[in-house]
Amino acid sequence: MRPPGNRRRTILIVLALALFILFFGRSTLSYYIDALWFASLGYGDVFWKGLRLESTTFLTFFVITFVVLYGFFLALKRAHLPNLPPSRTIYIAGEPLRLPVEPVLRIAGLGACLVVSGIVGAGMMLEWPTLSLWRFAPQNQAGSADPIFGRPLNFYLFTLPAWEVILGWLLALAGLVCAISLLFMFIMGSTRVLSRTRSAYPSSNSSWRGFSVAFAFLLLVLAARTYVARFDRLFEQHTIFSGVTYTDAHIVLPGMLIVSVALFFGFVLSMANAIRLSRLRWLIAAVVPAIFTYIAVQVVASYVSSFIVKPNELSRERPYITNNIEYTRRAYGLDGVSEREFPAETTMQSADPEHNRATLENIRLWDWHALQDTLRQLQEIRTYYDFPDIDIDRYSIGGTERQVMLATRELNVEKLPESSRNWINEKLIYTHGYGITMNPVNGFTPEGLPTFMLNNMPVQSTVAGLNVTRPEIYFGEMTNTDVYVKTRQKEFNYPQGQSNNLTEYEGSGGIPLGGFLRRILIALDQADLTKLPFSDDISGESRLLMRRNVHDRVAALAPFLTYDPDPYIVLGDDGRLWWMMDAFTTSETYPYSSNYRLDDASINYMRNSVKVVINAYDGSTAFYVFDHDDPIVAAYRRIFPTLFKDDSEMPPDLRRHVRYPELLLKMQAAVYGLYHMTNPEVFYNREDLWTVASEVGMTAGGEQATMPLQPNFILMKLPGESNVEFVEILPFTPANRNNLIGWIAGRSDGAEYGKALIYDFPKTRLVDGPLQIEARIDQNAQLSGQLTLWNQQGSHVRRGSLLVIPIGRALLYAEPIYLQAQRSPMPELRLVVLALQDRLAYGPNFESAMSSLFGNAASYLAEGSRDASSAPGNAPSQPANAATDRQAQIRQAAKDLADYQRLTGEGKLSEAGQKLEQLKRELEQLENEKQ
């Protein structure tokens, strides 16, 4: 028979194991599955390096915290042990129970220290990126020193955040040590002694000695924290600007240094009190100098701010405003922005359509919201398909660079019929979406629908050389479920008449399910314990595809990066589909830079350092570094050398589709609206504040509202440039005004990639903004009458986004107008409105609107359209037959007047409006010739 002692030991071991499994088993299993997942992507070393950094951080702070707390606890216990009673009686259910005090106190202290140390270690483990960046910070990218403290940039990006984390931990540790000493004072009855007369002191010297040491530790940490807190003044946000002010530089910063010295003096007094045991008086004396110094600094700072700075604020703060402007522009990549003048002229000749053919041929007339609704009607095919987003890109079509719109057809298992919602269908059969659509940004059928280059299932191409060889989409924006592939169950590929086309996964991605034990562990993690291990469709070759949503995928691989919320699909030269995402490094400790909101975080530094590419079929993921001057991504490359690749390693067919990030352009536009003012006096007075231009758009609830313009991608020839390139533009207006004042362009092609341009408009005249053009459209009698008529015939007029396009030396405004039946969510193009500064025209298609706007100057379109007739949607337009002599012009004007009257009488207001505009031009031409 087993001895009772061994039996108890066995029970305790089993109980401890059960508790471990209960509390840590799930986490351990998740770590195991994550290790398999990282290894399946070729990033196993990244997982283990991250786990090693996390565990090292946890163990380091856990051990140090435990040694300090428990060591201090044991020291106090040993000092107070002679005064402790040997035992104490407690009553449980009326029955007395005598407990030994010392063992109970020791076990309670050990347990409390272990728990507290574990909590502290877990909290510090979350700070592993900050501490690792400090450890692996590049030493050769220090940059220039800040103008206040003379510290290099690396100190603020890496060292200072780590110091603050460590000081926060030390402050918590000091507070816990003080709490332990107070606990022993309470146990020994010191609190009762303190409640007596002021002349009475505790009889226990050990209590005061322990508290003096703990209090000294607290004052030492506070002294260090106050010293380091001086650097935080560089990040302070003020009403006018950010960073150190005149008062900070002359009063607060020196004062904080004096407070830090006073706290260190208090530390020395507290340690002396632990030796001399003068008790309370010396502890009070230890903090009084620091308190009085702090109050004096605040009083003097308030006086200087109110009576010295405020009456002469601009002159006093000028150098500090200059610092804020310089460092903020540098932090957001605006220091290298090229600024140019744009005349924004108003004449037709200044638009120069003949020499801007490529820009005009690629004006986006398909609003992406309208196209998305149309695709959902024409191309979803089945109810469980969806098009979550529309992407804009450029492709070489027939040897010509064309701007196109792409959409992925993804499978949404939530839309499966209720009768089909079972484990086999959701996990084994309906595993992926299928194919993409591609159409020109301005291609329409006579019915106002898109002309496709790629569409249908299986994918059909109308352009030679443009093919999709691997249309299955296992990884996308809506693939939120985990699935099993390479099973004995064939997967649904796409509908084919009365039957379905089936397929089998041929990729190498995913976690191999392997033997029965691994299958059980994966089933536990996936909550498939009753199905996966016992399914006849699963074999050892089967694979688990998890984290199939591209957002979740990249966030799990590199959680320390910030990602653009809008990934876009790319069709490679080999016909495979890839997702491309922009990733950013950010910081909130860039010196003298102003803070802006990015999602839920506040940042003052941003770089688009990384491009992420994800294969839509097998999920393989690669991180390419595009900004080699960014110190933060350089540090992460030292931490995870196998995670990142150089941009030169990106395949050329993918490199051609890299673009300027939308999120970065929005942020830079928000910053530039204020920080384009580099003169401190202008900045101080906010004389030239800009905001992103606004337009009338539709809210999620379907109501019209004024909202900021979104960045517009366009294939165009920038003013002053000779080549056509893919750029992203965003116009500005003066604050609280609707007229335009400038625009920013982000470049995407070749050697110009990543560069931004600013075009400033003349300030001597007004240039119409989007809201003013919208008002001109509403005020046009013929056009507004036609829109009103359509809205009353069981249809709904839907206006697309207004585009502001620089062309030549002028601005061209373009807005598509769609007609949507009340019973159909599919909009169809009915009008295209074009405008210059002082001229507005419209027509049923782009060519007619151009002819109405430019007349003879638009005749180039016929030739240009014939040249590009191989691309869908480019119907040749007819040249205008203008009269060559005066009499012919008069006859033509009379004919147009008669046509206008006839069309008005027939209620054809759109055609009548075109005739009226044409008549106005002919009369103007006659008047000019007369002069």
> Do the beta carbons of residue 543 and residue 519 sit within 8 Å?
no
What does the pLDDT look like over 157-211, one tens digit per residue?
A: 999 999 999 999 999 999 999 988 887 777 665 434 433 444 444 445 666 787 8
Full-prediction pTM beyond 0.85? yes
Average pLDDT value for residue range 463-488: 95
Say which amino acid occupies 199.
S
Tokens of 607: 């770089």
Nearest to 212 by CA among 105, 338, 76, 341: 76
What distance in Å separates the CA atoms of residue 857 and residue 839, rounded to the nearest whole number? 14
**How many residues does this entry show for the chain?**
931
Average pLDDT value for residue range 811-829: 87
> Do the beta carbons of residue 455 and residue 461 sit within 8 Å?
no
What distance in Å separates the CA atoms of residue 45 and residue 526, rounded to the nearest whole number? 24
Cβ contacts of residue 808 below 8 Å, gap of 6+?
Answer: 350, 351, 352, 353, 355, 356, 719
What does the pLDDT look like over 516-549, one tens digit per residue?
A: 889 999 999 988 888 999 899 999 999 999 999 9
Cβ contacts of residue 205 below 8 Å, gap of 6+?
Answer: 277
What 100-108 contacts at long range (C-beta under 8 Å, 24+ apart), as own/partner pairs, is 102/77, 105/77, 106/77
Alpha helices in 676-802, H assignment, sequence order = 680-685, 770-779, 781-791
Distance from CA of residue 69 to its chain's centroid?
A: 41
* DSSP-based three-state secondary structure for 828: strand
444 Rama sector, left if φ>0, alpha if ψ -120 to 50, beta otherwise: beta
- Which pairing describes strands 756-760 and 338-341: parallel, antiparallel, or unpaired? parallel
Angle at 106 between CA 101 and CA 108, to 5 degrees: 95
Cβ contacts of residue 561 below 8 Å, gap of 6+?
Answer: 554, 583, 584, 585, 610
Say which amino acid occupies 5.
G
**pLDDT surpasses 50 at 865:** no
What does the pLDDT look like over 562-618, one tens digit per residue?
A: 999 999 999 999 999 999 999 999 999 999 999 999 988 899 999 999 999 999 999
Average pLDDT value for residue range 242-246: 96
The sign of the torsion formed by the CA atoms of 730, 735, 736, 739 equals negative
> Do the beta carbons of residue 474 and residue 619 sit within 8 Å?
yes
More confident residue, 88 or 831: 831
Residue 234: how many CB atoms within 10 A of its CB? 27
What does the pLDDT look like over 292-317, one tens digit per residue?
A: 999 999 999 999 999 999 999 999 99
Termini Cα distance of the chain: 125
The pLDDT value recorded for residue 887 is 63
Name the β-bridge partners of 408: 436
Average pLDDT value for residue range 441-445: 91
Name the β-bridge partners of 796: 820
Residue 95: how many CB atoms within 10 A of its CB? 7
Helix axes 160-187, 101-125, angle to 10 degrees: 160
Least-confidence region, from 194-208, 488-502, 620-634, 732-746: 194-208
What does the pLDDT look like over 86-109, one tens digit per residue?
A: 666 665 666 666 666 677 778 888
Q: What is the dihedral of CA 587, 591, 596, 601, to 10 degrees?
A: 30
**pLDDT surpasses 80 at 719:** yes
The pLDDT value recorded for residue 881 is 37
Place of tokens 């003012």: 677
Cβ contacts of residue 698 below 8 Å, gap of 6+?
Answer: 369, 704, 705
> Do the beta carbons of residue 595 and residue 587 sit within 8 Å?
no
The pLDDT value recorded for residue 883 is 36
Nearest to 903 by CA among 919, 887, 890: 919
Average pLDDT value for residue range 376-401: 92
> Do the beta carbons of residue 835 and residue 817 sit within 8 Å?
no
Average pLDDT value for residue range 872-879: 38
* DSSP-based three-state secondary structure for 277: coil
Q: Radius of gyration over alpha carbons of the chain, in Å?
A: 36
What distance in Å separates the CA atoms of residue 297 and residue 260, rounded to the nearest whole number? 12
* DSSP-based three-state secondary structure for 769: coil
> Do the beta carbons of residue 253 and residue 228 sit within 8 Å?
no
Distance from CA of residue 396 to its chain's centroid?
A: 30
Cβ contacts of residue 864 below 8 Å, gap of 6+?
Answer: 357, 360, 361
What distance in Å separates the CA atoms of residue 856 and residue 858, rounded to the nearest whole number? 5
More confident residue, 859 or 64: 64
Least-confidence region, from 271-280, 318-327, 610-619, 765-774: 271-280
Helix axes 44-80, 128-136, angle to 10 degrees: 110
Tokens of 138: 């590049």
What distance in Å separates the CA atoms of residue 439 and residue 403, rounded to the nearest whole number? 9
Place of tokens 């940490």: 221
Place of tokens 């209590």: 207
**pLDDT surpasses 70 at 701:** no
Angle at 904 between CA 886 and CA 815, to 5 degrees: 85
The pLDDT value recorded for residue 2 is 52
What distance in Å separates the CA atoms of residue 819 and residue 798, rounded to the nearest whole number? 6
The sign of the torsion formed by the CA atoms of 484, 486, 489, 493 equals positive
What distance in Å separates the CA atoms of residue 156 and residue 244, rounded to the nearest whole number? 15
The pLDDT value recorded for residue 145 is 87
Model confidence at 913, in pLDDT bands (50, 70, 90)? Answer: low
What distance in Å separates the CA atoms of residue 185 and residue 697, rounded to the nearest whole number? 68
The pLDDT value recorded for residue 867 is 42
The pLDDT value recorded for residue 194 is 36
Cβ contacts of residue 35 below 8 Å, gap of 6+?
Answer: 44, 47, 48
Cβ contacts of residue 162 below 8 Å, gap of 6+?
Answer: 130, 131, 133, 134
The pLDDT value recorded for residue 820 is 86
Helix axes 205-229, 253-276, angle to 10 degrees: 170
Name the β-bridge partners of 237: 242
The sign of the torsion formed by the CA atoms of 364, 370, 373, 377 equals negative
> Do the beta carbons of residue 193 and residue 202 sit within 8 Å?
yes
- Which pairing describes strands 491-496 and 499-503: parallel, antiparallel, or unpaired? antiparallel
3-state secondary structure string across 729-750: EEEEEECCCCCECEEEEEECCH
What distance in Å separates the CA atoms of residue 673 and residue 692, rounded to the nearest whole number? 8
Say which amino acid occupies 614.
I
Name the β-bridge partners of 425: none
Angle at 242 between CA 238 and CA 246, to 5 degrees: 80
Cβ contacts of residue 234 below 8 Å, gap of 6+?
Answer: 146, 148, 149, 156, 243, 244, 591, 592
Average pLDDT value for residue range 775-784: 88
The pLDDT value recorded for residue 364 is 92
What does the pLDDT look like over 3-16, one tens digit per residue?
A: 555 666 666 565 55
The pLDDT value recorded for residue 19 is 52
**What average pLDDT is seen over the chain?**
86
Place of tokens 């030239």: 688
Place of tokens 């240094």: 257
Model confidence at 348, in pLDDT bands (50, 70, 90)? Answer: confident
What distance in Å separates the CA atoms of residue 706 and residue 557, rounded to the nearest whole number? 39
